[in-house]
Amino acid sequence: MIIKKYEAPTMQKALAAVKKDLGSDAVILHTKTRRRNGLLGLWGKEMVEITASPDANLLEKPPVSNTGNLIRYYQKTMGAENKEGQQDKSLDLKFLHSDLNEVKSLVVSLLKRSKHSDVSSLSDELLESYLLLIEHEVSEELSKEIIQKLHNDLSGEDLNNRELIRTSLINTIKRMIPSVEPITLGNQNGVTKIALVGPTGVGKTTTIAKLAADFSLRQKKDCALITIDTYRIAAVEQLRTYANIINVPLEVVLTASEMKRAIERHKHRDLILVDTAGRSQKNALQMSELKSFIEAIEPDETHLVLSTATSYKNISDIIDRFKMLAIHKIIFTKLDEAVSFGLILNVMNKLNRSLSYITTGQNVPDDIAIVDPHKLAQLILEGEK
C-alpha cells in the first residue's frame, strides 16, 4: 500500500502536486493545514498538507471517522458501480441505506432516552415497553409505576425476554384495573336504582337506552326510565322514542320532590334507570342541582359516564368535580372512536372504582359490552388489532 504526503502553500498547489505524482485516480486520505518554521510554531508560513494514495482499494471500507471521506467513499463506489453494472450498485445502495437506518435509529433512541431521562437506564426491552405505554396514552406516572413493578418482578435474563415482558405487562395492567362489575339486580330494598351522570354529549341517554333494552327485552326484567333532562325538548323526545320502542314507562321530572314521587310509583319494579342532563363540571350551580336530584333518588349505584374520546387532562378535571356525587362505577363510551386506551387505566387508577360497561358505537341496543379485564389490559397495551 502506497501512502504519500504532499505539502504546499495552498490547497490548489498541493492537489496539483498529488495529481502530477499519483495521477487523477489518486485518493485523498487526509488534509490539514499547519504553520512551519515560525518561533514556537507562531508567525510561520501556513502550509497545506495532503495525505494521498494511488490505491483506490484503500477505500473498500467506509472511512467513517471523517464525513468528507465518507461522502467521497460513496461517490467513488457509486462511480465505480456505474462502470461495473447495476447489480453492484443496488448492493451498495442497500449498504448505504442500512447504514443510514442504523444512524437514524440511534438518533431516535438517544432522543427518546433524553426526553425520558429518568428511565434511560432501563434495558432496551423495558424502555421499549415504557414507550409503548406512553404511546398508548398511559400517563407517565403510571407507566413508570408499571415498569418499576416489572423490574421488581423479573430478574436477570427475563428482563431481555420480550414475550415474557409482554405477558407480565398485561398481567400487571390487569391487576391495576380495580374490577369489572356490571349492574346486578335484586338488592334487599326491592327495586335497583341506577343513575347515570357525566359531562354533556358523552352518551348517557344512548347508554340508558342500551341498558333498558338489555334488561327489559333480553333479561325480561321489569324496568322504568326517569329523566331529569328537561332543559332541552329534544333530549326528552330522544329518550321517549327509545322508551316507546323498548316498551318501558318513562317519567319526566322537574324537581327533587317529583323525583321522589316518581321513584315511589315504580318501586315494585326490578330496575329504575335515571338519565340526567349533561352537566358542565365547571358550572357549580348545575352540579349542586344535580346533587340534590341524586340525593332524592338515593341510587344503589351512580355510574359516571366518560367518553374515551376525551383528553386525560379534561377527564381529570371532570373526575375531580363529579366526585361530589359519590360515584360507584364508571362507564366508558365511544371506544370505537378512540385511538388509544391508556386513558381508561389512568382514570380507573385515579378514581379506583369498578368499570361497569364499555360502549362501542351508536347502535341501540347492540353497541354495549361488559369487558373482560384481560382483554381490557390487552387493549390498553396494544390498542385495537
What does the binding site for Mg ion look like in residue numbers (CB under 5 A)? 204-205
C-beta atoms surrounding 261 within 10 Å: 12
What DSSP line would sit under 18-83, residue for residue? HHHHH-TT-EEEEEEEEEESSGGGSSPEEEEEEEEES-GGGGSS--TT-HHHHHHHHHHHHHHHHH
User: Which entry of Mg ion, ligand GTP, none binds 346, CB below 5 to 8 A by partner kind?
Assistant: none
Q: How far apart are the C-alpha atoms of 250 and 223, rounded to whole Å?
A: 10
**Parallel, antiparallel, or unpaired: how do β-strands 301-307 and 368-369 relate?**
unpaired
User: Which entry of ligand GTP, Mg ion, none binds 266, CB below 5 to 8 A by partner kind?
Assistant: none
Instruction: For residue 201, state whether it binds ligand GTP (rule: CB under 6 A).
Output: yes
Q: How far apart are the C-alpha atoms of 294 and 302, rounded to whole Å?
A: 8
For ligand GTP, the closer of residues 224 and 239 by Cβ is 239
Residue of the chain from 226, 367, 376, 377 that contacts ligand GTP (CB under 6 A): 367
For ligand GTP, the closer of residues 5 and 282 by Cβ is 282
For Mg ion, the closer of residues 176 and 239 by Cβ is 239
User: What count of residues does the chain have?
Assistant: 385
Instruction: For residue 230, state whether it binds ligand GTP (rule: CB under 6 A).
Output: no
For ligand GTP, the closer of residues 29 and 253 by Cβ is 253
**# of chain residues touching ligand GTP (CB under 6 A):** 20
Instruction: For residue 229, state whether it binds ligand GTP (rule: CB under 6 A).
Output: yes
Q: How far apart are the C-alpha atoms of 291 and 197, rounded to whole Å?
A: 10
Q: How far apart are the C-alpha atoms of 135 and 340, rounded to whole Å?
A: 8
**Could you tell me which residues are beta bridge partners of residue 252?**
227
Query: Which residues fall within 8 angstroms of residue 194, CB to CB, at 6 or more apart?
Result: 183, 211, 271, 272, 273, 274, 299, 300, 301, 302, 303
C-beta atoms surrounding 90 within 10 Å: 11
CB of 366 to ligand GTP, least distance (A): 11
For the purposes of burial, counting CB atoms within 10 Å of the CB of 268, is it exposed (0-12), middle (13-18) or buried (19 or more)? exposed
Stretch that binds ligand GTP, among 143-151, 243-251, 288-296, 361-369 (CB under 6 A): 361-369
Looking at the chain, list the stretches that DSSP marks H as alpha helix, in order from N- to C-terminal side.
11-22, 67-84, 86-115, 124-135, 140-153, 162-176, 204-213, 233-246, 256-265, 284-297, 312-322, 342-351, 373-382
User: Which entry of Mg ion, ligand GTP, none binds 333, CB below 5 to 8 A by partner kind?
Assistant: ligand GTP
CB closest to ligand GTP, residue no: 278
For ligand GTP, the closer of residues 165 and 202 by Cβ is 202
Q: How far apart are the C-alpha atoms of 352 and 346, rounded to whole Å?
A: 10
CB of 239 to Mg ion, least distance (A): 7
Query: Which residues fall within 8 angstroms of residue 284, CB to CB, at 6 or more apart?
Result: none
CB of 305 to ligand GTP, least distance (A): 6
CB of 104 to ligand GTP, least distance (A): 38
Ramachandran sector of residue 81 (left: φ over 0; alpha: ψ -120 to 50; beta: rest): alpha
**Could you tell me which residues are beta bridge partners of residue 27?**
53
Of 304-333, which residues contact ligand GTP (CB under 6 A)?
A: 333
C-alpha cell at 139: 400517563
Stretch that binds ligand GTP, among 11-19, 187-195, 257-265, 356-364 (CB under 6 A): 356-364
CB of 333 to ligand GTP, least distance (A): 4
CB of 381 to ligand GTP, least distance (A): 22
CB of 256 to Mg ion, least distance (A): 19
For ligand GTP, the closer of residues 7 and 337 by Cβ is 337
Instruction: For residue 360, state whether it binds ligand GTP (rule: CB under 6 A).
Output: yes
Residue of the chain from 62, 182, 361, 373 that contacts ligand GTP (CB under 6 A): 361
For ligand GTP, the closer of residues 348 and 368 by Cβ is 368
Instruction: For residue 245, state whether it binds ligand GTP (rule: CB under 6 A).
Output: no
The binding site for ligand GTP (CB under 6 A) comprises 200-206, 229, 235, 277-278, 333-334, 336-337, 359-362, 367
